[in-house]
Amino acid sequence: MKRREFIGGMVAVGTSPLFGVAGDGGERIARIGLITDTHVETTLESCSRVRAALSLFKAKGAEMVINCGDIADRHYPQGYRFYRQTVNEVFPDPASRPKEIFVYAWHDLINHDKVLGGKWDPVAAYANVRKQLEAPNPPFCDFVWKGLPFVVATQNVGMKGFPSWEEYEKTVDRVCAANPGKPVFVCDHLPPAGTTFHSREWGSERCRRMLNRFPQVVSLSGHVHGSLANERQIWQGEFTAVNIGCLQTWGGFASGSTPPRQAKPNFGAIVMDVFADRLEFHRHDVRDGSEIAPPWVVPLPFDPSAAPYAPARAAARVRRLPAFNDGAKVEVKPVASGFEVKFDDATTPQAFMYRIQCERRNALGEWEAFSRDDVFSEFWKAKADRTGVISHVLASGFFSPRGEYRVSVRPLDFFYRAGAEIASQAATMPGEPAPEELWRIEPPVRKLRFTEYNKAVAETVGGRFAPSTGQGTLWLPENAFANLVPGKRHQLVLDLDSCLPDGDWCGWRVRLAPRSGGSVPASSALTASGSPGTLRYVFTFTTPADGSFPASCNITFNNHLPGASLRVAGIRLLRG
């Protein structure tokens, strides 16, 4: 692929005019619209949020639009053509149409072999994306526009037919060297790992190691489907990273037995203003153009010792922890699937998440937590759409008949700092009705086989398992699920002691998996980060009415962090 393939009106890196002197402020140099993860499908209607974003950018006078990848949800030629139709309808005059940049990412490859004659060929697939979309840029390129240097990388860096990681790094090195003192915008799909929200799990370690060398870099990315109302979508450390969120649904991973990704509609886009002495990232709701929150302002040139969005520095500026209103209460009431926990949203200041803990009395009469579910607040919603009430259901499998319990709730800010808790009244669980226990496996659970890619994993001291690749399987007894009643609700109760040394945003992802392949719907959990001790997780599932539930299942574990370990303290299967 030729490195010097450029967009009309742009010039080769190293031949640009002077960018300006930091601190002189002055006029805005450029206004750029940023979107990502548009996931259009095969209808014009699926481009409605793209249309809204482009209309916003037109109203704001954006001179360039960057889409950071997953343009379509699959390799949909018709979807790309509808995307182009949408651009042309919003900007009917080609002369006033903003420059466009596209990042080519994995979703745009899915099913391309079926579209392109049965052969898996990512190079041909992206060529077809570019053709149907009428995209001006190839999958990998660099250029200067209005004095601003850019590098655009495909998610397929390092794969056959695409530039290697070494070529990627050399390109960034060359562009930075040719543009001293300027921000270098690196557009990629995956965020650098351990920077913005959820990038530890969904980001690229290779990209992070590479970009650590280049303090000029401003990384622009997508992939994780975050909300732009989240103050962790921007990060500064060795360089600056901004994750653009998405224009579809965002999920977010939360510790506990709730499904790890709960789809929530998202309408976020960024208008980035470039000045000689700063970058301004204005976060907008494309439905009405309103600003979601105050803009992020990044001083230029980059100074790591004073970077305002370094996590510790950003957290220090927030002097008030989220707090419940005086008299706020936690209400707990029985429902068909367990117990509903309900409380008012903490908005002074706005909470990011809530840590919901089930607690029981220990032998000393003290309350101790034995489960933890982190759930998102309504921070991500437009104010007009907020209900002011948070509701969460705890499965009945968390509790034992006639045991004394309470539920506590703490609000967390965007940096996971906890405000004061509120708690429900203590209550004794009724003896009946209670779920029927079908079987249990009590300590030592080590008698079950634990493997890593079908190879036995030896216990460490204390009965813990530490698979070196982060992939583990606990083999449950053969035919343990053979006699489940079709069409009935069941609960697998798992007491797990997990440890993740660098667990800011990460945990073990735990699933109930049939040995024949696949997974059981709604049977997954994400363990709490760090070393919280033994906590309870409950998988709730309904067996198919046709009796097709697999007789033999395993529990699988997955994480991305070195040094992680776990110990299974007990397992029970309940009906009801």
The yes/no answer on whether domain 331-433 falls in CATH 2.60.40.10 is yes
pLDDT of residue 259: 55
- Within 353-488, strands assigned E span 353-361, 367-376, 389-395, 404-412, 422-423, 427-428, 436-441, 449-452, 455-456, 471-475
CATH class of 437-575: mainly beta
- Is 527 within 8 Å of 456 (Cβ atoms)? no
pLDDT at 410: 97
Q: Which residues of 72-99 are buried (b: 16+ CB within 10 A; e: fewer)?
A: bbbbbbebbbbbbebbeebbeeeeebbb
Average pLDDT over residues 382-395: 93
Question: Nearest-CA neighbor of 297 among 318, 274, 316?
Answer: 274
Q: Give span(s): CATH 2.60.40.10, the chain.
A: 331-433
pLDDT by residue (tens digit) across 455-478?
988 877 677 888 888 899 999 999
At residue 205, does pLDDT exceed 50? yes
Instruction: Tell me how far apart the alpha carbons of residues 41 and 148 are, in angstroms, rounded to a whole number.
Output: 33
pLDDT band at residue 496 using 50, 70 and 90 as cut-offs: very high
| Mean pLDDT of the 97-103 span | 98
Instruction: Supply the pLDDT for residue 435.
Output: 87
User: Quick check: 310 and 317 in contact, CB under 8 A?
Assistant: no
What average pLDDT does the segment 387-397 reach?
93
Q: Is 40 helix (H, G, I), strand (E, B) or coil?
A: strand
Third-level CATH fold of 31-317: Purple Acid Phosphatase; chain A, domain 2 (3.60.21)
Residue 23 clears pLDDT 70, i.e. is over it: no
Q: Where in the chain is the domain with CATH 2.60.120.260?
A: 437-575
- Helices 48-60 and 77-90: crossing angle in degrees, nearest 10, is 30
Spatial distance between the Cα atoms of 39 and 266, rounded to a whole number of angstroms: 12
- Adjacent-strand bridge partners of 534: 497
Does the pLDDT of residue 1 top 50, yes or no?
Answer: no
Measured distance CA(381)–CA(229) in Å, rounded: 8
Of the ranges 22-26, 40-44, 84-88, 197-201, which one carries the lowest mean pLDDT score? 22-26
Per-residue pLDDT, 17: 33
Q: CA–CA separation, 304 vs 240, rounded Å?
A: 9
Average per-residue pLDDT for the chain: 90
Q: Distance between CA 309 and CA 235 in Å, rounded? A: 5
Q: Is the dihedral of CA 265, 267, 268, 269 positive or negative?
A: positive
Share of the chain above pLDDT 70, in %: 93
Q: What is the mean pLDDT of residues 226-249?
A: 96
DSSP-derived 3-state class of residue 79: helix
Rounded distance, CA 574 to CA 576, Å? Answer: 6
